[in-house]
Amino acid sequence: MQIQTTTTPQLDWTGDALAIGLWENQTELTGKPAELDAKLSGVIQELIAETEFLGKVNTTAITRVGGNNSHIRKIILVGLGKPEEAKLDTVRRGAAAIARVAKQAKIKSLGISLPVIQKDPKHTAQVITEGIILALHVDQRFKSELENGELKLTTVDLLGLGEQAEAISKAEKICAGVILARELVAAPANIVNPVTMAETAMQIATESGLDLEILEQEDCEKLGMGAFLGVAKASDIPPKFIHLTYKPSGTPKAKVAIIGKGVTFDSGGLNIKGVGSGIETMKMDMGGAAATLGAAKAIAQLKPEVEVHFISAVTENMISGKAMHPGDILTASNGKTIEVNNTDAEGRLTLADALVFAEKLGVDAIIDLATLTGACVVALGDHVSGLWSTDPQLAEEIKAASQLAGEKFWQMPMEEIYFEGLKSPIADMKNTGPRAGGAITATLFLKQFVQNTPWVHLDIAGPVWADKDNGVDNAGATGFPVRTLVNWVCNKE
């Protein structure tokens, strides 16, 4: 599928289907849509009336254009909501809705005419491209037969945006990273494990010229990574500590680290997840690591002038005679001791040693992202990630990057008094606190492993998976928050 801009106006564009965006309650056409409607003998106004199309966000309507002499065969309408509420994600989601309709209608050549948002045709072209690609992505790797056949859509023309080849190319590279993250998260634990995650990192490094360091178990032992290795003890598959580095050709304008939780399957350990706990979905507990590798793939292609370290301590959390017990005491690589009062709070143990490792690199900022707590899902639901930070400026940078990405975050409090619930009579801390404020105490636990570097923690437990199609996300793994991470890094140039 080729996505490109064209200077051909609406009235003259030729192809299978032309899609136009309409604002909410725009029942009487004006301007260019009215001219197009007149040329098409009133078919657009008739479609609006017949379907009672009101232009509400993400609503669509499609009809065939009569007559053999018509320059297009079909018209697609997409609702954009209220114009005063429009933002870049409005047209991204609109493009996704158009793409799904075009796929269902077996369109081969598609023209899209959506409004320029914030007088910014470059970013408008970028997000429209993202919407198309991500909505059309279908992961059928494990099906013996394709359910929907091959995609018919071969060309997409973006109208009224000028020449935007660079913006479209950028979107394609970002989407490649999102799709990698989606497919890693969606794959079962018998396919994606610590070894294959390391192989994926190796493939990215080989293809893009990145530096790669894989620490094996004995390497981690020498570095004193007792928290990470405590989780890894029960698995027959060896743990892998992945450190992938992108370096620009010139002097970097910043040096940052992105750390993703990489538990490729979480049984809960000896505190095993019970019936109805969703244990069958715990293949996605490496969503943070998947997004980290997805961001690495995109950033390696975009080549910003920023040095980025992509880090993940990857393991399974399993059950065996070697498993860590509730009550065990682990020593992390910064010397902190941890009483394990719940083996199902394992992700923070792996992140602890990864945070210590990252800070020793002397980076300017650290972001960690993890499917860390059910408590965050209870607080913010399935579409919003929790954000905690020790640095107000860094928090604002992430929020700004998320606005362009169309990914939602909500800053949560770092309530220090809640650390009282993590205190242990026999160690420096426990790995879990009381039920109340569980996402906050998890963050305060992680905070013990970052001394001076500006740091953001993202609890992405909700948004990494979608139960049904929503915006650019199809049901299943979403690739959240690759777009935000890439935007953040590129914004630091």
* Catalytically active residues, by annotation: 273, 348
Paired with 125 in beta bridges are none
Distances (CA, A) of 280 to 201, 204, 287: 25, 29, 15
Q: In angstroms, rounded to a whole number, what is the distance separating the alpha carbons of residues 427 and 492?
A: 40
Closest CA relative to residue 476, chosen from 179, 129, 200, 201: 179
Cβ 347 vs Cβ 372: under 8 Å: yes
The dihedrals phi and psi of 197, each to the nearest 5 degrees, come to -65, -40
> Residues 6 or more apart from 230 whose CB is under 8 A from it?
324, 328, 330, 340, 349
ω into 481 cis (within 30 of 0): yes
Q: Could you tell me which of 297, 286, 294 has the C-alpha nearest to residue 263? A: 286
Least Cα distance to 404 among 185, 245, 167 occurs for 167
Q: What is the rounded radius of gyration, in angstroms, for the C-alpha atoms of the chain? A: 24
